Amino acid sequence: MTTFNLPDKLCITGGNLSENWSQFEQALSIYLIASGLDKADDERRIAILLNIIGEDGVKVYNSFRLEKKDLKYEQVIKRFQEYCNPKKNILYTRFMFYQRQQGADEPFDCFLTDLRKLVKECEFKSEDEAIRDRLVLGTSDMDTQKKLIVEGNSELDAVISKFRLAEIGRKHAEEVQGTSSKPIEVGKVLKGKSPRLIRCGWCGQQHEQNLQLCPARGKECTKCKKMNHFASVCRSKFVKTICQNEEHNTNSDEEFYCGSINKMILINKEL
């Protein structure tokens, strides 16, 4: 035996009653068609509606005080529509529509979806024109707005397409610029592992165990005038003693990096 999902009860007391009814009526219509009950007589379809709508919905139905004799299903639906959709304040609904602005970091499609929802209550002669105008005038994308105003009278689909393409272009540009402006970040995502950080004895800062990342590399110490370290970590009186028995070669990357660790250990012990 084939079974069908029953619609949820009509929510009378919570949320937007008009929207709740619209969703309930659609779900009920789908259920009746799917189950083959859409052609049933009026009495049976009314009984199905009242069986599904819930206790609060039945109380609303009883308040209609409809004559049961020769009662039509469409009459009941109409009364629920009138109850759930009271007279609209058009000026207020349009005010809310006109006030809608796109947030600074709000995705374009979220802005568009909300405008499509708001416009349903406004009863404009042309919803497409109203949405188009609000997209252009309420956008946070000033560059695309300027281009569309210069064009003057683009259709809604063209406006949507241009805003979406502009948003995609900005995201791609941010990704490219972010990668090129911070090349040292690439190593942090290799193999999905976090980099090993050290407290560098040459610059006094924390960075990866990589000679190329040391900001002191190629810099002259303002204290001792030697290369490849900062004055803030300069230990010239100790380095001089240590270097008496050791040839100091700054041309070798390996000696510079590995030697720095050994020398700093000796320095720390002497301190």
Which pLDDT belongs to residue 194? 55
Report the DSSP beta bridge partners of residue 56.
Answer: none
Average confidence (pLDDT) over 55-79 = 91
Nearest to 81 by CA among 115, 97, 57, 52: 57
CA-based nearest residue to 105, from 195, 36, 179, 167: 167
Mean pLDDT, the chain, whole residue set: 80
Q: At residue 269, does pLDDT exceed 70?
A: no
SS3 227: strand
- Segment 188-210, tens digit of pLDDT: 444 445 566 777 887 877 777 77
Q: How far apart are CA 243 and CA 39, in angstroms?
A: 100
pTM (2 d.p.): 0.44
Say if CB 54 and CB 8 are below 8 A apart: no
Task: For the chain, list the domains and their CATH numbers.
Answer: 17-84 (no CATH), 90-181 (1.10.1200.30), 197-270 (no CATH)
Q: Residue 235: pLDDT band by 50, 70, 90 thresholds?
A: confident
| DSSP calls for 164-178 | HHHHHHHHHHHHHHH
- Give pLDDT tens digits for 33-42: 999 999 999 9
pLDDT at position 119 is: 92
Better pLDDT: 251 or 66: 66
Q: What is the pLDDT of residues 110-148, one digit of tens each?
A: 999 999 989 988 889 999 999 999 999 999 999 999 999
Other Cβ atoms within 10 Å of 78 Cβ, number:
11
- Residue partners of 227: CB distance under 8 A and separation at least 6: 218, 219, 220, 221, 250
Per-residue pLDDT tens for 219-232?
A: 888 778 888 877 77
Residue by residue, DSSP assigns 14-82 as: SS-HHHHHHHHHHHHHHHHHHTT-TTS-HHHHHHHHHHHH-HHHHHHHHHT----TT--HHHHHHHHHH
